[in-house]
Amino acid sequence: MTAYGASPIKRTRSTAAELATLHAALYEYAGQNYPVTVRQLFYAMTVQGHAPKTENGYDLVGRELVKMRERHALPFHWIADNTRWQRKPVTYAGIEEMLDITAQTYRRSLWIEAPAHVEVWLEKDALAGVLVEETRRYDVPLMVTRGYPSLTFLHSAALSIAEQARPVHIYYFGDHDPSGVDIPRKVEEGLKRYAPAAQIHFERVAVNEEQIRAWNLPGRPTKATDSRAKTFRGESVEVDAIPPLQLRELTRGCIERHLDQRRLGQLQRIEQEERGQLLEIARMMRGGAA
């Protein structure tokens, strides 16, 4: 967590009434925007005046969110955390269960006949749980760089892009700070270097200066320790400062530029029919086993 600098006001313990107000605001915002990250909630609370825009303010929001979830005052699944995950092969009790689960999750390829290939790239892993709501819905790859991506990651992504015999559109979401502005330049440069024959269209979607002004996004002091800070002007603004619903709307808008809604409707109807066929096969196998 980046420090925001010392507060000119001496920190005092929040009163019971202040905490109750904060809890109500956290519950309302999370309920309207979930899944949402702790940092996104912190920014929302600073805008609403329920928490100071300091390191202590971030700690306060995080601490109270822990209390609320442990007391079952706020559902755990409202808070996105994509930084911890498990590696385990998928297994089944038997082929009938496999068919049942496959029927529930079966998806027709949306892009196999599309004139373009679309990917969404994201600087921060913690926000993957927010954007994946849209990328998963539309069967679009979500690529998380975790700051500057490694050469191995870029090379692997470029090889996949090179296999596409059609234009590739990449939409990038990252911070507006010295490194956040530079990362997409390095990403685009790397992808085009490792996939020189590919037709790559790269767009940095957020955060940009126009969004900062139009949406009055809260900022933070730019880190003087960043070697790129000398040429950067103004406050830094994290992509987390964009409200989750707006962030998902931006993502959805980028993807839908390349979608044929009529074709999408047709595929959804075919999906439903084929899921029914899979369920019927599972029922037949259970009947035969009996």
Contacts of 188 (CB under 8 A, 6+ apart): 170, 200, 202
Contact 43, 218 (CB under 8 A): yes
| Residue 69, pLDDT above cutoff 60 | yes
Find the mean pLDDT for residues 180-185: 94
Kindly state whether residues 149 and 46 are assigned to the same domain.
Answer: no
> Is 30 a domain residue?
yes
| Residue 7, pLDDT above cutoff 80 | no
Closest CA to 11 of 44, 48, 58: 58
2 or 31, which is more confident: 31
Kindly state whether residues 124 and 231 are assigned to the same domain.
Answer: yes
Kindly state whether residues 173 and 231 are assigned to the same domain.
Answer: yes
Contact 179, 230 (CB under 8 A): no
Average pLDDT of the chain, as a whole number: 89
CATH number at 150 reads 3.40.1360.10
Contact 246, 212 (CB under 8 A): no
What is the model's pLDDT at position 100?
Answer: 85
> Is 168 a domain residue?
yes
| Residue 11, pLDDT above cutoff 90 | no
Number of domains in the chain: 2
What is the model's pLDDT at position 2?
Answer: 44
174 or 278, which is more confident: 174
Angle at 102 between CA 99 and CA 106, to 5 degrees: 140
At 3, is the pLDDT very low, low, confident or very high (cuts 50, 70, 90)? very low
Beta bridge partners of 120: 142, 171
Rounded distance, CA 131 to CA 121, Å? 10
Give residue 94's identity as a one-letter amino acid code. G
Tens digits of residue pLDDT in 128-172: 999 998 999 999 999 999 999 999 999 999 999 999 999 999 999
177 or 8, which is more confident: 177
Helix runs in 228-260, H state only:
244-256
| Residue 10, pLDDT above cutoff 60 | no
Kindly state whether residues 72 and 136 are assigned to the same domain.
Answer: no
> Is 102 a domain residue?
no
Q: What are phi and psi of 108, to 5 degrees?
A: -80, 140
pTM across the whole model: 0.81
Kindly state whether residues 117 and 206 are assigned to the same domain.
Answer: yes
Tens digits of residue pLDDT in 228-248: 888 888 889 999 999 999 999
Q: Which helix (H) or strand (E) holds 122?
A: strand 117-122
Tens digits of residue pLDDT in 82-131: 666 667 888 888 888 888 888 888 888 889 889 999 999 999 998 999 99
Find the mean pLDDT for residues 175-204: 95
Contact 75, 59 (CB under 8 A): no
| Residue 9, pLDDT above cutoff 60 | no
Kindly state whether residues 165 and 54 are assigned to the same domain.
Answer: no
> Is 91 a domain residue?
no
> Is 154 a domain residue?
yes
Kindly state whether residues 65 and 120 are assigned to the same domain.
Answer: no
Which domain does 188 fall in, by range? 111-258
